[in-house]
Amino acid sequence: MSLVELPITGYLDRFSHRPGESFAAYIGMRAAGPYEARLVRIVSGDPNPAGPKLRFEDLSHVFAERFSGRHQEIRLGSYARIEPGPERDPGLPFTLTALVQLRAELRPDSDAKAILALEGEDGALALSVGPRGAEARLAGIEVDASAMRLCVETPMRPLRWYRVWLSIDPATERVLLGQQGFGEAAPVLARSQREGVAFATKSCVLIAAQSKKGPTDHFTGKIEDPAILGAYVEGFRHPAASLDALGAELIAGWDFSQGIDTQEVTDIGPQACHGHLVNLPTRGVVGARWSGSEMCWRHAPRDYGAIHFHDDDLADCGWEPDFSWTVPAALRSGAYAFHLTCDAGEDWLPFYVLPPRDGPFAPIAFLASTFTYQAYANHARGNADEAYHRRVAEWGAYPNNPDQHPIYGTSTYNRHADGAGIAFSSRRRPILTMRPGFLTFNDARGSGLRHYPADTHILSWLEEKGFSFDIITDEDLDDEGEGLIAPYRMVLTGSHPEYHTLRTLDALQNYTGAGGKLAYLGGNGFYWRIARTQAMPHVIEIRRAEGGIRAWAADPGEYYHALDGEFGGLWRRNRRPPQMLAGVGFSGQGLFEGTHYRRLPASRDPAHAWIFEGIEEEIIGDYGLSGGGAAGFEMDRADRALGTPENAVILARSEDPPASFVTVPEELLSHLHTVSGEPPNELKRAEIVYFDTPSCGAVFSVGSITFCGSLWRNGFEGPVSRLLENVVRRFSAAKPDAKEASELGRTGAPAHHDA
């Protein structure tokens, strides 16, 4: 794995703050030296010379300073740390033991990875697993040639649980290393003699790593019941025995089935030497003694007594802050960034400024999809080839790609080294994909933007059309609830609001039900459920359970989040299909390419003609900066059985889906039959939907990720731009007063049906 660092980069304490609040900036440099930071406002993040181009408003007069920068390390890899460890008589025998499981076979040339390690002032020892099975290392505090190594010379089989142990008897100078798989009749052993094998009491204990000064040799796999026993053990009668049934004095034993929703590890031994986890390994995973009686760890925690550690986990870079900046009272709500420059390079740290807590508020709120940006943070796609970098250079696009910089951690669309999916994403690290000008694809028909830079198509369009708007974020909405959006006449989503919590869904549903107006301007939205905890607000968790378009699948029995104990997976599987909120939900997906919509008769109904005012075309969006068409990549459709309101109307529908498109798996019962009863090929469509809600609310949904890329056509003109302008002007007009709302509530909104 290449660990190339950028010349300068960083991250912020949050994605957003209000006037009067302060951002803390954490800056790291490849080599220490001076750098400059200045404030810019992001007007457009599309570097395509045929599009709106990269545009920044220089706000150096508001903030611009020089600083002395430093190198700040990133330490990947999760582990547990207990310091000090348990007290014991250094002259008496003792044993280190644990249950371990590998998910994948280790490479023959890989180094041994630590399971349980002790490090004191006079020496260190580690019980490890390598390509030749259990290994042990005993050495002085510094690694040297006199270090003693043992190996059982029997590789472990993936997905099988093993008991491993290292026993030491200082009086007889005996050292024994053992390994026994569940179901195996006898252990495999390695023996040796070693002088001076008494190790200091109260040594620092590390689980899944060794070397307390800078942990190394991180283990990737599951560990359960690590323990220190007060005996020299030749073998275990029952390798799967629990901590309280090992047949020897328990000096310390860490029961991972306790505190699954925390970052603490609990010692059930007499000295209560509890510890803490570093870099967020995965809890709530099936353990060695899983019975299958329960699928939720909250109901049977002993079945979930393992922790899955990984050598590339990263919860927080843990850098020291370099500078702070307080948002001025007069600074308008919007998208901003700190532009960092040094002699060797540059970077941008994007953020949002919310309006003051007590207003004034614009009529429109843009809801930035920060949970989705975070889920895709540093998605290493493997597509940054020579042609990609050539386009980046020609366009002056953002030059750094996660493919070349895995040191900053990858995304929940990537996998760990053992093939397990990455379930957590932290925003306390540099996020290269969340940069103006970042190209996700080398798009033959457009710009190849997704997520943060793609959503600047909406922001620059709003500005070009003269709309007054504020920006809020998913995280703010989850923290503050419906009150955050209550002051606004309308809320616009981004192009891909895929990831949501129950609190954000409820806030949006309550907002539209109470008279708010929502414009859902993307596709594949409101799709995955995520978990958060205020103990670690910078982290989101995803369990890719039970179907859906997935980069990986959670293992059976591991569908419940560790952070909140709730069932993960699709919101559809949680009985909250996207159609209930937005009228449409995910139905078809293909490569990053698009087609067009064709208007339906309902678009000419007098009740909805205002949406298409000034548009004579039958075909909408056969052009665009995202895949070349307004209906593309990931597409949503209406479905009354999944919650599309009865009064919803379908105004336009995509046609001629590209050959790469498929029907999403949750719609399929077999290769011939679908949940809805429609032929599979007919579900590969995007639909533009409108419906009214009680109390004068309304929802307008476009059903396509690539829709906003078609706001631009030789400038912000054309039928897609006009269509959205008609909706935004109507939705952002003054709300009806209480009398009008009451009158509408008595008469009811007219019911409209798809023509």
Please identify, among 261, 283, 309, the residue that sits at the C-terminal boundary of a domain: 309
Q: What is the mean pLDDT of residues 72-84?
A: 96
Same-domain status, 93 and 163: yes
Q: What is the CATH number of the domain that holds 41?
A: 2.60.40
Angle among Cα 602, 603, 605 to the nearest 5 degrees reads: 60
pLDDT exceeds 60 at position 738: no
Rounded mean pLDDT, 14-38: 98
Which has the minimum average pLDDT: 51-65, 437-451, 551-565, 735-749?
Answer: 735-749
Cα–Cα dist 436/433, whole Å: 9
Confirm whether 449 is domain-assigned: no
Q: Could you tell me the pLDDT band of residue 751, with boundaries at 50, 70 and 90?
A: very low
122 found inside a domain? yes
- What phi and psi values does residue 643 have, to the nearest 5 degrees? 120, 0
Which of 309, 339, 365 terminates a domain? The answer is 309
Do residues 332 and 295 share a domain? Answer: no
pLDDT at position 755 over 70:
no
Residue at 16 is within a domain: yes
The answer to whether residue 752 is domain-embedded is no
Q: Judge if 299 and 330 occupy the same domain.
A: no
pLDDT of residue 736: 52
Distance from C-alpha of 116 to C-alpha of 122, rounded to nearest angstrom: 18
Average pLDDT over residues 364-393: 98
CATH of the domain at 219: 2.60.120.200
For 204-234, the pLDDT digits (tens) are 999 999 987 889 999 999 999 999 999 999 9
Nearest to 149 by CA among 170, 126, 168: 126
Q: Is residue 644 part of a domain?
A: no
In a domain, residue 314? The reply is no
Average predicted confidence (pLDDT) for the chain: 94
Residues 197 and 337 reside in one and the same domain: no
Q: Provide the number of structural domains found in the chain.
A: 3
Q: Are residues 186 and 238 in the same domain?
A: yes
The yes-or-no verdict on residue 748 having pLDDT over 60 is no
Task: Give the per-residue pLDDT at 737.
Answer: 52
User: Do 84 and 183 fall into the same domain?
Assistant: yes
**Residues for the chain: how many in total?**
755
Whole-angstrom distance, CA of residue 752 vs CA of residue 647: 5
CA distance 284 to 304: 6
pLDDT digits (tens, 9 = 90+) for 393-416: 999 999 999 999 999 999 999 999
Residues 523-579 have pLDDT tens digits of 999 999 999 999 999 999 999 998 899 999 999 999 999 999 999 999 999 999 999
Asked if 9 and 355 count as a contact pair (C-beta separation under 8 A), the reply is no
- The pLDDT tens digits for 488-504 are 999 999 999 999 999 99
pLDDT band at 439 (very low <50, low <70, confident <90, very high): very high
Dihedral over alpha carbons 644, 752, 620, 714 (to 10 degrees): -90
- Work out the pLDDT band at 419, boundaries 50, 70, 90: very high
212 and 86 fall within a common domain: yes
Domain co-membership, 299 together with 326: no
Specify the 3-state DSSP secondary structure of 727.
helix
**E strands within 59-196?**
64-69, 79-82, 94-101, 113-120, 123-130, 133-139, 148-151, 161-169, 174-181, 188-193
Position 3 in a domain: no
pTM score = 0.95
Same domain, 325 and 249: no
Residue 328, domain member (yes or no) = yes
The helix (run of H) or strand (run of E) holding residue 579 is helix 578-582
What range defines the domain where residue 551 resides? Answer: 528-570
Same-domain status, 210 and 253 = yes
139 and 67 belong to one structural domain? no
Given a cut of 60, is residue 739 above it in pLDDT?
no
Asked if residue 478 lies in contact with residue 531, where contact means CB atoms within 8 angstroms, the answer is no
Of the residues 281, 309, 337, which one is the last residue of a structural domain? 309
Residue 328 and residue 254 in one domain? no
Helix 451-464 with 719-731: angle, nearest 10 deg: 70
pLDDT in the model for residue 630: 98
